[in-house]
């Protein structure tokens, strides 16, 4: 399966049966992601080298304004879209099969987790997966150790406080925090 076919299929798919062609494509992309992230995380790299490895990992062009402090972890990599002037701090984990779109001028705090898949709640089909993309708008700031659950959209200019678990969409220019995250004020 090509990367473009994978991305298009994931955007249209509501359910992925365990063992299906699409599920097996996850595993192939995962092996490549493990190889690239092991190299990325295993030693020091210049900012240009980090961008080159992220371009290889995501199979897309990465803007020269992108910055990241490794380590970085992902179990796919091919369904991450990064805007301009994005900074990803150390220890972040992206489960991107369902799609992660990050806008411009976004700051992502250390050890942030972004998930885009849920397993089938039916225990007889638990290996099946339900993809839901995550979208992060322009000028968003995610604090340290934020967890973003599948299907969440974070609106432009929002701030997500450290340690928050975001289970629902965040409206633009609001500050959310807590478990689950709730609105504290507007900015």
SS3 3: helix
Active site (annotated) includes residue 119: yes
> Is the distance from CB of 166 to CB of 179 less than 8 angstroms?
no
Cis peptide before 94 (omega within 30 of 0): no
The active-site residue out of 23, 27, 45, 119 is 119
Q: What is the DSSP string of 4-56?
A: HHHHHHHHH-S-B-TTSHHHHHHHHHHHHHHHHHHHHHHS---HHHHHHHHHH
CA torsion 10→16→21→25, rounded to 10°?
Answer: 50
Active site residues: 119
């Amino acid at each position: 399966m090509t990367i473009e076919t994978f991305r298009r299929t994931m955007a249209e798919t509501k359910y992925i049966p365990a063992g299906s062609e699409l599920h097996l494509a996850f595993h192939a992309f995962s092996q490549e992601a493990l190889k690239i992230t092991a190299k990325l995380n295993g030693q020091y790299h210049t900012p240009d080298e980090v961008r080159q490895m992220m371009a290889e990992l995501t199979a897309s062009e990465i803007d020269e304004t992108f910055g990241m402090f490794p380590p970085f972890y992902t179990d796919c990599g091919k369904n991450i879209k990064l805007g301009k002037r994005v900074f990803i701090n150390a220890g972040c984990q992206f489960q991107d099969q369902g799609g992660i779109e990050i806008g411009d001028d976004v700051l992502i705090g250390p050890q942030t987790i972004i998930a885009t898949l849920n397993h089938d709640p039916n225990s007889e089909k638990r290996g099946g997966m339900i993809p839901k993309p995550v979208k992060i708008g322009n000028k968003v700031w995610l604090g340290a150790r934020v967890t973003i659950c599948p299907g969440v959209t974070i609106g432009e200019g929002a701030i997500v406080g450290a340690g928050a678990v975001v289970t629902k969409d965040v409206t633009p220019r609001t500050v959310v925090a807590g478990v689950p995250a709730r609105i504290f004020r507007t900015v």
